Structure 1
């Protein structure tokens, strides 16, 4: 399988790629560690001693951006290379297989919501690593290619959570307004009195029944949501949208990991105090 897979690793998720390469570990190791080789497939030059515990700098040639920092945590040639890059852990493992080897690359993203972006980027990089080892030309940064990879990984992974800028302290729903264990929410107020609420279930959760004060537009982004409307249950899968009318008796039941958007014709929830 050439595509990356997503697995749970403690409280985080891990993005993992496996590639069977027709080259011995020693050759692949040079491609992973030497800047002359990294230039053909890796997004940055890595400056710093190649020894465990060494501080690293990630430099983007031809760009004015300041170098990014990191640390080399494991250096065991030609088996395991692991380093931190601005808070993200990258681990490369080489396992001999006949005259070639199995490459296992694992990264733990700092933000789950960025995993689709990370997956498409690393997929592209590892494709070019393989091309370099095989003596083939590297693929160019092509909009069509990245659009295809983005669509593939979005279908596989989703975002898993809302981006951090949508979950700021000023947008979090006050506990007094939304007291539902396992449900995180952020609220945005429109100038015309409408309100949009983003909900993410960190565990199975039930909203309890309420009488609708306003019309509500509901979209299920990821996972599954069971809407109960006037006593009738309607399972809604990812991609479903629904209008809940004013005056209805409604409740919702989330499975863990589900994300929904609710747009109301008025302001039924209060903002949290900014922290």
Structure 2
């Protein structure tokens, strides 16, 4: 099973890949740490000492270098470091004459998790080819596109896309007044407002009276709506209509994304 898996932990996600390799950990360790070996499969050139606590710099053919730091250096078993906002961890577990490579990545930005999974999948394919003594496939635009679509289908969206979360639609924090939640609003010609909510941490809304019906759908995570003192637990995929006149509040768990549609008082934009 060469495909990566995705685990959601609050507002964070973790990508995990497992590859069984027909080479001992020592040989694979060189491929993970030696610059000559890294050039065959890793997406950037790395500069910096290979030891715990060492600062790293990552260079692409174009653009400014990015930075990271080694947090674990335990040859030939565990290598862990940061790369900008991402955490990368490589573990090598002996299995007979070969080893199991376990690679986990906690991306700083979950919005592009399908793209990240695609990139690391191809990198690991190239790593396998390199240590087997075969030429790496390199970057193939068509293959990347096909694999990216497959990962998007496996994982789902993961975050609202950029074209829906621009500054013009972002709700002002003073209008929203829900710490830990980002919201984006879209106004209809008939006075309706559609809002997207993304909880960056556990959060609770204030209690309010509904002056119109409200349609609610949970895309991801868990949302508890309290109506007239009764808790209703809604998981991913659940739809619900909060009736006009209800006394209601809501609770988000970290990572939850919801869509709300209603008429009445509108949330103000941050750019207004």
If the TM-score is normalised by the length of the shorter chain, which range does it land in?
0.7 to 0.9
TM-superposition CA deviations, 1:27-69 (whole Å, max 9, x none): 11121122332233211111233334433221223xx212222
Aligned twin of 2:267: 269
How many residues align? The count is 263
Kindly tell me: are residues 172 and 47 of structure 1, through their superposed partners in 2, closer, same or farther at Cα, counting changes over 3 Å? Answer: same
Q: Does the CA-based 8 Å contact 2:25-2:76 persist in structure 1?
A: yes
1:49 aligns with 2:49: yes
RMSD, matched Cα: 4.1
TM-superposition CA deviations, 1:62-116 (whole Å, max 9, x none): xx21222223333332222222211322221212221111212222222333433
Distance 2:26 2:226 in 1: 60
Structure 1 residues not aligned, in runs of 5+? none
2:146 to 120, 144, 147: 144
Aligned twin of 1:134: 132
Distance 1:233 1:83 in 2: 43
More displaced, 221-230 or 122-131?
Answer: 221-230
Kindly tell me: are residues 117 and 254 of structure 1, through their superposed partners in 2, closer, same or farther at Cα, counting changes over 3 Å? Answer: farther
Residue 260 of structure 1 and its aligned partner are, at CA, apart by 1.0
* Secondary structure in structure 2 of the residue aligned to 1:16: strand
1:83 to 73, 81, 84: 81
Structure 2 residues not aligned, in runs of 5+? none
Aligned twin of 1:105: 103
Distance 1:264 1:78 in 2: 57
Residue correspondence of structure 1 range 186-225 to structure 2 within 5 A: 186-188=183-185, 190=187, 192=189, 194-201=192-199, 202-203=201-202, 210-213=209-212, 216=214, 218-223=216-221
Aligned twin of 1:71: 69
More displaced, 30-39 or 12-21?
Answer: 12-21
TM-superposition CA deviations, 1:138-186 (whole Å, max 9, x none): 44342212211222232xxx516787x9497x934546x5566x87241
Q: Does the CA-based 8 Å contact 1:7-1:15 persist in structure 2?
A: no
Distance 1:54 1:233 in 2: 50
Residue 135 of structure 1 and its aligned partner are, at CA, apart by 3.8
1:27 aligns with 2:20: no
